[in-house]
Amino acid sequence: MTCASCVAHVEKSVSKLEGIQTVQVNLLTNSMTVSYDETALNNDIIEKSVENAGYEAHLKSENTSTAANTKKIDHVQLEQDEMKNRWWISLAFLVPLLYLSMGRMFGLPLPAVFLGHENALAFAFTQFLLTLPIAFVNKKYFTGGFKSLFKAAPNMDSLIAIGSSAAIVYGIFAIFRIGYGLGHGDMDTVMQFSYDLYFESGATILTLITLGKYLEARSKSRTSDAISRLVDLAPKTAVVIRDGIEVEIPVEELKIGDVVVVKSGQNVPVDGLILSGNGNLDESALTGESMPVFKEVGQSVMSASMNKTGYFTFRATKVGKDTTLSQIIRLVEEASASKAPISKMADRISSVFVPVVIAIAIVSTIVWLLLGYPFDFALSIGIAVLVISCPCALGLATPVAIMVGTGKGAEHGMLIKSAESLETAHKINTVVLDKTGTLTEGKPRVTDIIAGGNYTENELLQIACSLEKASEHPLAEAILVEAEKRKILFQNVTDFETIPGRGIKARIEKAQYFAGNLQLMNELSIHSEDFLSLSEQMAEQGKTPLLIAKENAVIGLIAVADVLKPSSKMAVSELQKMGMEVVMLTGDHRKTAQYIQSLLGISSVISEVLPQDKEKEISRLQSEGKKVAMVGDGINDAPALMRADLGIAIGAGTDIAIESADVVLMRNDLMDVVSTLQLSKSVIRNIKQNLFWAFFYNVIGIPLAAGVFYIFLGWKLNPMFAAAAMSFSSVTVVLNALRLLRFKPKFNTKPET
């Protein structure tokens, strides 16, 4: 495929098939995504339909392994190399052709064999011979262009083929007229047609178009840089332990359950869980996180992350197309191949663009002939119209920006599933944030230790962790983690007993201890006004207070809370500066929610919401005319993520949250929500610039080529300059899209220190 018209013809041909549900063709990737009723259609019928439209189609392998993607990258390079060779060969013959054809106009010396009317035939025929190699190396324009034309589905190649063929055929006609004039002594005819040769125009059109295509191919190859870097990170071999021996095998042969060895400096080949050892892993290619992450026994590792230091073995849990790397590549490819709603206008115009241009070229030629102008003048007008019109720019305006944008997002750990999601993101005006795991860490931590009497903080913590060691309550884990951090030793505990819903009791060195909530203390008639008031105060701040009592007196209080992420306040501030309404959605008590609201400066809070009611709250906001983005990470967020205009799963979340979301953020950082919205605005702005340039170029260029300004201003466009302008238009669109490679999130708020 060469232009947007090709896309329109393929989509039209396939969509006519009975059983087709959706069909999307991508010019940039030369790919097609089809949804269809398998009871009515099969792949062979779809491929045949594409062939009937004048193109070829082959079923893409489902394997998204490194090898498959490497093959794709090589195909891009192959196209680039072919265009480069065609350009250099064309240029080698074009230079002497232009010297010969235009040398006399600039007073340049020519061999005597080409001078004078008596040598006019040699002069013309030599130009023809120099044009032939250029036409031959660029024969694809003719074979593809005329094939599409005969199938009533003309494309950009058709315009080039008709324009350059008209120039060359007219030149051949001129040779015959020169020969006739020489044979009959008609020197006026010889002189007229020796100046009316159009071989240089046809050859220059082909050469400049090929140069444009080469520059376009070079630029387009950079759009897949993000995927290429990911592919390069994935090792082609892995070291596994088989029968107690380390064996190196191709990554494709790895199976779930294999024990894989990763040494310092090596990349992790597939996803898995560490069995022994540890390492500092650089996951920047997957998550955008620049700092290495320490991983040890029991923790998960992702494919394509690099082990900076250490040595470990892990059990493979996901291989082949199921690995994190393969899923990221698949998501980026699918997003790149999808279409944004903004592109539909360009598609509709492209479907009729080429036939209209051909009609304008024919009408322009006839009109100028009827006005009494010479045939060569009218012919040059028609050729200029054909070669200046650029359906390429229209077709590339959206997909190049989408591919660069989604690739850049992947580079920063932001996986955008479709072009539609990317476009929707720039319209968002309300961001709804789940609290647990989104604004907060999602893991309870000890926030306050208040010791009474003669006890120190560490002594109180020692009693608490000794009591909680045998408990399965979530608070127990937070206390044990804090004790481990402070290197607190456990004391011997006897007569341990759980009091459901209220706390625990046990003996330490024959003394009776209790750890629990306010209800437990009231039941035991253990009172301490200072600690009770503190307990209520902390509960209002969203903390869970654990009262510690010895015999019949409270000796201290330990508060546990799901603490806010360091970036939460900054992210909320940034979203508000972007003009977003920020809403916190939580099941917490109203007072707790209001306390967090005051800490973060959130404009609106919806509290005491049951998990199943989150989706209803999103619907309510949408009914008020708001474009809503929902940010969450849990299973109970899935319905709300699906209901929202834009669902964002943060911190890689749960599988079901990821499936429900439109955007998946690999890092557990709320600032990536800001980055996603900024990226969307940059991409859509770039697409609008591209579409404006493509439309503006054609709206101005076609009337100029048709001679509309000639009568009033004397402006006439030479076909050679028209070809250069057409190539420049396509290259400009691609280069403008490549500016997105420089995208970096911009934050106005300085992080707190």
Task: Give the total residue count for the chain.
Answer: 753
d(CA 206, CA 210): 6
- Amino acid type, 741: L
d(CA 547, CA 339): 58
Helices assigned H by DSSP within 58-108: 66-102
Q: Catalytic annotation on 258?
A: no
Q: Where are the beta strands (DSSP E) in 658-700?
A: 663-665
591 in helix, strand or coil?
helix
Burial of 280 (0-12, 13-18, 19+ CB in 10 A): middle
State how far the alpha carbon of 300 is from the alpha carbons of 6, 274, 312, in Å.
Answer: 46, 6, 12
d(CA 751, CA 753): 6
Q: Are strands 300-301 and 245-250 parallel, antiparallel or unpaired?
A: unpaired
Catalytic residue, candidates 196, 271, 282, 434: 434
d(CA 432, CA 644): 9
d(CA 344, CA 357): 20
d(CA 345, CA 667): 36
Helices and strands, counts by H and E, the chain = 28, 22
714: Cβ–Cβ under 8 A, 6 or more apart, which residues? none
State how far the alpha carbon of 155 is from the alpha carbons of 58, 404, 441, in Å.
Answer: 21, 25, 55
d(CA 73, CA 491): 62
Q: What is the DSSP string of 298-320?
A: T-EE-TT-EEEEEEEEEEEEE-G
Q: Are strands 293-295 and 544-550 parallel, antiparallel or unpaired?
A: unpaired
Convert 64-84 to b/e letters by CB count within 10 Å (16 or more is b): bbbbbbeebeeebeebbebbb
246 in helix, strand or coil?
strand
Burial of 131 (0-12, 13-18, 19+ CB in 10 A): buried
The H-or-E segment that residue 171 falls in is helix 156-183
Q: Are 500 and 492 in contact (CB under 8 A)?
A: no
- Amino acid type, 37: D
Active site residues: 434
